[in-house]
Every structure is written in structure tokens, then in C-alpha cells.
Structure 1
Amino acid sequence: MKKIVVSGKTIEEAVKNGLRQFGVTEDRVKVTVLEQPSKGLFGLIGAKEAKLELELIPDALEEAVHFLQDVFRTMNLKVTIEQKKERDGILFNLTGEELGMLIGRRGQTLDSLQYLVNIVANRYSNTHLRIVLDAEQFRERRKKTLEDLAIRLAERVIRSRKEVILEPMSPQERKIIHAQLQDHSKVKTYSKGEEPNRRVVIALR
């Protein structure tokens, strides 16, 4: 928590001085009055300025960005974070070199980082925030791969008349498989098992 002590002829002036130092608006600070202003004798002698303590209220998205920047710094990676508001949350798109290290095998590192950054952000938010991490359009490419896989495996189930059990996937990836086959006339999908080993099953209707 960042705190500063500021002063001014009035409480309002002291608050403005503090906001100027922080570079934020009044809704981002908690104000504690340490000393009330007084005019002193004859309005001149012994006059005291107002003294306040301003505490900066953390911004959830700023804290999320700081967390990621610390991670990248530790990994010695130069990464730029671009924020974009989407229908179901905030997209943090990562650009830079050696992003394969951040994506990991089938996006597992990216998913883990996304899980952690959501914990950090929601610690400082009054409402639930959903942050999606992406790098080099990995999410879109992975979605296409899973949709194609779902179609191929559905055809195998129809030919063999035997159900297929996929490898363990994250909830987001399982959702892609379910969505791709939800209107299929010959196969159905369901999930079984416990996290993190929960799997999609494709079976005949």
C-alpha cells in the first residue's frame, strides 16, 4: 500500500496536492485527516495547515500488469502487455521474443500464468474480473486445433462405434470440444474425472 502525508491551507487543497503526487482521481485514495487546519491568533499567528494521510487504493488491472511484469523480469524476457476489453472479460495480449517459453506445452504455462494473474487481480477488485492471457494468437490457433480434433474423433466414434476418451484438458478447452459437437446428430460429449485430470468423452448418441 502506498501512503503519503500531505498538507495544505484547507483539507481540499491538501487532498488536491496528494492527488497530484499520485497522479490519480479522488476515488483511488483513502483520506485520513491527521491535523485540522486552524487560522491561529488574529487569523495569522500560529496558523496551522491541514495535514492528511492519503493511501492509494490499488487498481486491480494495474496490479495484474505489475505481477506479470515481475514474472517477465525474473524470466529475463522483454514482453509488452496490450489490454483489450472483450465481452466476457479483459484480454491481455502478450507480444515480444521467446514467447514459446510463456506458452508452454499445449498452452499449459500460459494457463497457469492466467490462473495466477486472475487471483492477483481479484484480490484488489470488488467485482469478479476475468482476465484472459494470450500470446502470438495462441488461443485462436489452439481453438481451431481442438475444433478440428473434435470433428475427426467424432468420425472415428461413428466408424468404430466405440467411445473416445480425450487426454485431460482445462475447463476452457473442454468447453471448446463440447461446443463444437453439441449439435452433432450422431455423437454426444460429456466430461468425467476430477480436476486436473478431467477428460472429455465422445460417444454415440
Structure 2
Amino acid sequence: MEVEKTARSVEEAVEQALAELGAKREEVEVEVLEEPSKVLFGLLGRRPARVRVRVKDTPVRRAKELLGKVIDAMGLMVDMKFRETEEGLFVDIAGPNVGILIGRRGETLNALQYIVSLYVNKNRVQKCKVYLDVEGYRRRREETLRRLALRLAEKAKRKGRNIVLEPMSSHERKIIHTALQGRDDIYTYSEGEEPYRKIIISPRK
């Protein structure tokens, strides 16, 4: 997405372009097409500055674009914060009535994260992992899964038989595996095909 603007100065033209694009200065590339200058020794006025401002094609821009369309279509008013690190792009969404974005046990949130990830990484050579969260749901869910893992591990150990968990996403399965790794009384493994792949907690004989 790009626009061209003319104004008395380069900076004024850039500000007009930013307003039209709805972007911040660090989110764009600026090409100065013409510097402002006097015409005929100043006898006939000044030639205005002309710039071309292009929004950078970054993971943040792509995620913001898609999420904006989805959330607008749902009629929600939200605040989105984007944080890009070496690990990936983290998006935190907050606001009233955002529970609809989470869904049953995070199913809607996981689906939305998957779609955003596909859009962000389309035609990109260097892939970027996308982590989407709503009102701290991911953190609370991780704590719940860790407690569940410990409780079911004790149950498997006490009863001496396998405990089969409900199907989970790969991210949630990793939380369970990590919570129980290194134990010498039980072990975990996954079986089944996505999206019905599940974890089995098994006592060591």
C-alpha cells in the first residue's frame, strides 16, 4: 500500500501520507520524488515537495491488516498490542466481549492464530511464528494444563494404567509433555492424527 503526496515541505507531505495510510513513521518507507524549491529565482513562487510513502511489508503490518478486518466484521472494539522478538510475533488483544475470540477451550483462538500465521508468512522466505492471545487466556490455560498434567500423572501412577487425554493442539500437548518430562515413574507420548491427536500418560513398569 502506497500513496503520493505534495506539500510545502517533505515532512508535511509525509505527515499527510501517514494520516491517509493510518500508519506510524517507523512502519513506512519514504521516497522523496521532488524537493521543494523556488522557481525562477523565487519570482513565480515555490515548487512543492512530492513524496511517495509505502507501508513496509512486515509481519506486524500483515497481522494488523488481517486481524483488523476480522475484528471489524465481528463488530468488536478492541485494543491490540504487537511485539516482535527473535522468537516471533506476539499479539495481545484486549477489550469488552472478546471471549468470542477464544471459543471453547481456545478452539476459536487457535484457529484464528493459524489463519493469521498463514497470512503473515505468505510468500515469505524467512518464516515468523505467530502467538495470538486474548486477555491473558494463554497464560491461564498453561497453568491449568500443568496442574492437570500433574494430577493425571499421579492418577496413572496410583492406578497403574494409562490415562488418555482429550485431543489438544500441538502447543498444548507440548505443555503437558514439558510438565512431566524427566520423571522416572511415568512417561508421556502422543498418538492419532491432527486435529484429533492426543496425549497418553503411562506408568513405568
Q: TM-score range by the shorter chain?
A: 0.7 to 0.9
Per the TM alignment, residue 128 of structure 1 is displaced from its structure 2 partner at its CA by 1.2
C-alpha distance in 2 between matches for 1:90 and 1:99: 20
Three-state SS of the structure 2 residue aligned to 1:151 is helix
Judge conservation of contact 1:164–1:201 (CA < 8 Å) in 2. yes
Q: In the aligned structure 2, how far is the partner of 1:81 from the partner of 1:156?
A: 41
1:162-177 maps to which residues of 2 (within 5 A)? Answer: 162-177=161-176
Match of residue 144 from structure 1? 143
The answer to whether the Cα contact below 8 Å between 1:19 and 1:26 also exists between their aligned partners in 2 is: no
Q: Does the 8 Å contact 1:189/1:202 carry over to 2?
A: yes
How large is the RMSD of aligned CA atoms in angstroms? 3.5
Alignment of 1:1-205 (within 5 A): 1-2=1-2, 4=4, 22-23=17-18, 56-86=55-85, 88-123=87-122, 125-205=124-204
Cα distance in 1 for partners of 2:139, 2:62 equals 26
Instruction: Give the secondary-structure state (helix, strand or coil) at the position aligned to 1:82.
Output: strand
- The 3-state SS of whatever aligns with 1:93 is strand
- Code of the residue aligned with 1:161 in structure 2: it is G
Superposition deviation, residue 97 in structure 1: 0.4
- Report deviation, 1:185: 1.7
Gaps of 5+ in 1: 7-12, 34-50
TM-score by length of 2: 0.76
Q: Distance in 1 between matches of 2:29 and 2:123?
A: 14
Show structure 2 runs of 5+ residues with no match.
Answer: 19-23, 34-49
- Using the alignment, how far apart are the partners of 1:79 and 1:54 within structure 2? 27
Cα deviation, residue 58, structure 1: 2.5
Aligned length: 197
